[in-house]
Structure 1
Amino acid sequence: MVAELSPELIAEVERAAKLLATQSNICILTGAGISAESGIPTFRDKQTGLWENYQAEDLATPTAFEQDPKLVWSWYQWRRALVHEKKPNPAHIALAKWQHAAKKGQQRITLVTQNVDDLHEQAGSSATHLHGHLWRNRCHDCGSPVTQDTEAPSGSKDARFDDELITCAQCGGYIRPDIVWFGEALPVQAWQTAEEAAANCDVFMSIGTSSLVYPAASLAHLAQQNGAKLIEINPNPTPNTMVDITLAEKAGVVMPLLVQQITT
């Protein structure tokens, strides 16, 4: 693996590892890029199959669900079927290894993700989800969390992908995925956790997400304003001078090497 990396990138990985190994509080934000390495399509990818004539941005909204709940629910059941058999990649596994090692030492690692899949959890990590959970449901009208037999972790043999609408036992409203749609506010507790971690960290890492796109941008700025160093892992790095260390490579390539150096 090391032989595939350029000498310049190896040197930057070593520099990042030395920095991270000496700091107490680390805040990590992951985005669509890390899940894409496990084969999960991003919102920027073109829809396929029955959904090729739809834009993801036009389906993931409260208005779309209110106008045609069956259409939106069917699309999410299709997405669940796509994600169902996806597995954590080396980046997810390396992050989990680092989190577990940190618990035995003096480091505090807060992992925040913009992804709605459960690949971090499958790998063994504890993560704060800013955009909700693909495998959870709630009532669109009253907000009550709902446990249905359609709800199961990815990889579970019990997962079902029926597209029949489900109604809430509390109010009769339609059940929807527990995901933050366009136009909706981020969950208060998750955002508070992310802000506190960013404000108090020594190093802020963004993995698979641009440091120019919100909420990543606001968290990175908050960390920097409070004296933190910024590390970005992204094949297409952010074109600005805000980041202190840029590792321009896939997370699945860089993270195992980085974590190995930190934890040994």
Structure 2
Amino acid sequence: QKDIELLKCKECGSWMRPNILWFDEYYDEKTNKKFSSLKVAKNSGILFIVGTSGATNLPMAIAETTLKYGGTIVDINTEDNLFTKLLKDKKNKITIRATSTEALKTIHEILHNVVQEEKK
């Protein structure tokens, strides 16, 4: 019962909405930024996919759009997924099979070192 109360607004008592897509919903601009995210994907040089399988339409469409316009995809997941199939024969991909914590920490360290070298 206490867990249910945590899902309600303390001010008005209404259910709070997590930023997710429920099974009976569809992607739109208001709740999921569908069109603006595809526009950003079109103009992205690199897309990081972290901890998701690609089982829903919008994440897959973002990845497809990034590839279509020449961007690189970095797929960080602990196992192969639907993005693995999408990226199979692509040259502009980096696949990292590790936890997001491990992979992003390493990427942060690499980028930090590159910035430090550029300052010299």
Q: Do residues 149 (structure 1) and 13 (structure 2) align?
A: no
- The normalised TM-score by structure 2 is 0.68
Distance 1:220 1:76 in 2: 36
Among candidates 3, 7, 25, match of residue 184 of structure 1: 25
Secondary structure of the residue that 2:48 maps to in structure 1?
strand
Distance 1:196 1:75 in 2: 41
Q: Is contact 1:207–1:251 with CA below 8 Å preserved after alignment?
A: yes
Distance 2:10 2:55 in 1: 39
With over 3 angstroms needed to count, the CA separation of the structure-2 counterparts of 1:149 and 1:259, relative to structure 1, is: same
Q: Is contact 1:237–1:246 with CA below 8 Å preserved after alignment?
A: no
Matched residue type, 1:261: I
Distance 2:27 2:2 in 1: 22
Q: Is contact 1:233–1:247 with CA below 8 Å preserved after alignment?
A: yes
Q: Do residues 219 (structure 1) and 68 (structure 2) align?
A: no
Distance 2:111 2:40 in 1: 20
Q: Do residues 245 (structure 1) and 88 (structure 2) align?
A: no
Higher helix share: 2
With over 3 angstroms needed to count, the CA separation of the structure-2 counterparts of 1:192 and 1:76, relative to structure 1, is: farther
Cα offset, 1:177, TM superposition: 2.6
Secondary structure of the residue that 1:204 maps to in structure 2?
strand
Larger radius of gyration: 1
Distance 1:191 1:218 in 2: 10
Count of paired positions: 103
Structure 1 regions of 5+ residues with no counterpart? 1-73, 81-134, 138-147, 152-165, 167-174
Cα offset, 1:252, TM superposition: 0.5
With over 3 angstroms needed to count, the CA separation of the structure-2 counterparts of 1:185 and 1:224, relative to structure 1, is: same
Q: Which residue of 2 aligns with 1:112?
A: none
Distance 1:213 1:75 in 2: 31
Q: Which residue of 2 aligns with 1:201?
A: 44
Q: Do residues 77 (structure 1) and 4 (structure 2) align?
A: yes
Cα offset, 1:259, TM superposition: 1.1
Distance 1:178 1:187 in 2: 15
**Counterparts in 2 of 1:159-174, with a 5 A limit?**
166=13
Structure 2 regions of 5+ residues with no counterpart? 114-120
Q: Is contact 1:235–1:248 with CA below 8 Å preserved after alignment?
A: yes
Cα offset, 1:263, TM superposition: 2.4
Q: Which residue of 2 aligns with 1:210?
A: 53
Q: Is contact 2:34–2:58 with CA below 8 Å preserved after alignment?
A: no
% same residue: 14
Secondary structure of the residue that 1:177 maps to in structure 2?
coil
> What's the RMSD between the two structures over aligned residues?
2.8
Q: Is contact 1:76–1:177 with CA below 8 Å preserved after alignment?
A: no
Distance 2:34 2:2 in 1: 27
Distance 2:71 2:44 in 1: 6
Q: Which residue of 2 aligns with 1:263?
A: 112
